[in-house]
C-alpha cells in the first residue's frame, strides 16, 4: 500500500478563494485508490522534516496574510524546503504562495516582501487588479491540456531564465496580463494564479501531481489507477467552452 505525506503551508493565513479544496481533492483522490495520506499543517514557527514530505501545497492570501507569514517562511522553512525541492519534492503554490517562492514581491505601496528565490520570478504590485476566470493551455506528460481557474491579483509576476511558464493564456490575464504566460515551473515546483479551487476543476492536473509524488517516493514505474472523472471533466469542458466563446 502506498502512503503520501502532504504538507499544507500556513493553512490559516493563506487560504483564500477555496484554496483548501486542493488539499481535499488530493487526499480524496488518494483515498479512492486506497492510497493513505498523512497531512502536516505548517504553522508559523513549525519545525518540519521536509525530506519526508512528498507533496506540499501553499495557498493564496491577502497582502496582510502574506505579510504575517513572509518572514517566518524565509527564516524557518526556506532552506530545508529548498533542499527537498532540489531532490524532487512536489510543490504547488497559488497566488500569494507563488509570489513568496520568487525573489520578492514589491507591493503597490512600496513594501518589499522577501521571497525565498526557489522560483526565478519576481512580482510587482499595482493598483489594477487582474481578476476573472482563467483558461490556459499547459504542456505536461502526454501533451497539451487545458486548465481552468479563477484569478484575482494586483501583483504582476515576471519570469526569469530559470523557469518555464506553466502554460499559455487563452482567456484571462495570467502572470502579468502582458506577455501571455501563466505560472512558472522548475523541477516539480509549480506556481500559478489559479484559485477556484484549481484541482477539483482539473482532475487530470491533480493526478499529474500525485503521480510525480508517487514516482519520487516509490519509483518511476508507479502509475495511478484511473478514476471515473466523467462529471469533473464535463464541468471542466463547460468552463472551457464558455471562456472560448
User: Active-site residue numbers?
Assistant: 95, 195
CB 66 within 8 A of CB 27: no
Q: What is the largest CA-CA distance in the chain?
A: 51
Q: 82: annotated binding-site residue?
A: no
**N- to C-terminal Cα separation, the chain:** 45
Q: Residue holding cell 484554496?
A: 19
Q: Write down the residue that cell numbers 472560448 correspond to.
A: 244
Which class for 8: exposed (0-12), middle (13-18), buried (19 or more C-beta within 10 A)? Answer: buried
Query: Distances in Å between the alpha carbon of 198 and those of 60, 62, 83, 203?
Result: 12, 18, 26, 9
Known binding-site residues equal 129
Known binding-site residues for substrate equal 129
Amino acid at each position: 500500500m502506498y502512503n503520501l505525506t502532504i504538507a499544507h503551508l500556513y493553512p490559516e493565513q493563506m487560504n483564500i478563494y477555496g484554496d483548501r479544496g486542493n488539499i481535499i481533492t488530493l487526499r480524496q483522490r488518494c483515498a479512492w485508490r486506497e492510497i493513505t495520506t498523512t497531512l502536516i499543517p505548517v504553522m508559523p514557527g513549525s519545525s518540519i522534516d521536509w525530506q519526508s514530505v512528498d507533496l506540499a501545497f501553499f495557498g493564496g492570501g491577502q497582502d496582510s496574510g502574506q505579510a504575517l507569514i513572509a518572514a517566518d517562511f524565509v527564516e524557518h522553512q526556506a532552506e530545508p524546503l529548498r533542499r527537498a525541492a532540489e531532490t524532487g519534492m512536489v510543490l504547488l503554490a497559488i497566488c500569494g504562495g507563488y509570489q513568496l517562492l520568487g525573489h520578492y514581491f514589491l507591493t503597490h505601496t512600496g513594501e518589499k516582501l522577501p521571497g525565498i528565490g526557489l522560483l526565478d520570478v519576481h512580482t510587482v504590485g499595482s493598483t489594477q487588479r487582474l481578476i476573472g476566470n482563467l483558461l490556459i493551455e499547459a504542456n505536461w506528460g502526454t501533451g497539451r491540456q487545458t486548465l481552468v481557474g479563477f484569478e484575482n491579483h494586483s501583483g504582476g509576476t515576471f519570469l526569469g531564465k530559470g523557469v518555464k511558464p506553466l502554460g499559455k493564456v487563452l482567456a484571462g490575464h495570467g502572470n502579468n496580463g502582458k506577455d501571455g504566460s501563466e505560472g512558472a515551473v522548475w523541477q516539480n515546483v509549480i506556481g500559478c494564479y489559479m484559485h477556484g479551487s484549481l484541482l477539483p476543476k482539473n482532475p487530470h492536473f491533480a493526478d499529474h501531481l500525485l503521480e510525480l509524488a508517487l514516482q519520487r517516493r516509490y519509483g518511476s514505474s508507479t502509475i495511478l489507477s484511473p478514476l471515473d472523472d466523467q462529471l469533473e471533466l464535463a464541468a471542466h469542458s463547460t468552463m472551457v467552452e464558455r471562456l472560448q466563446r
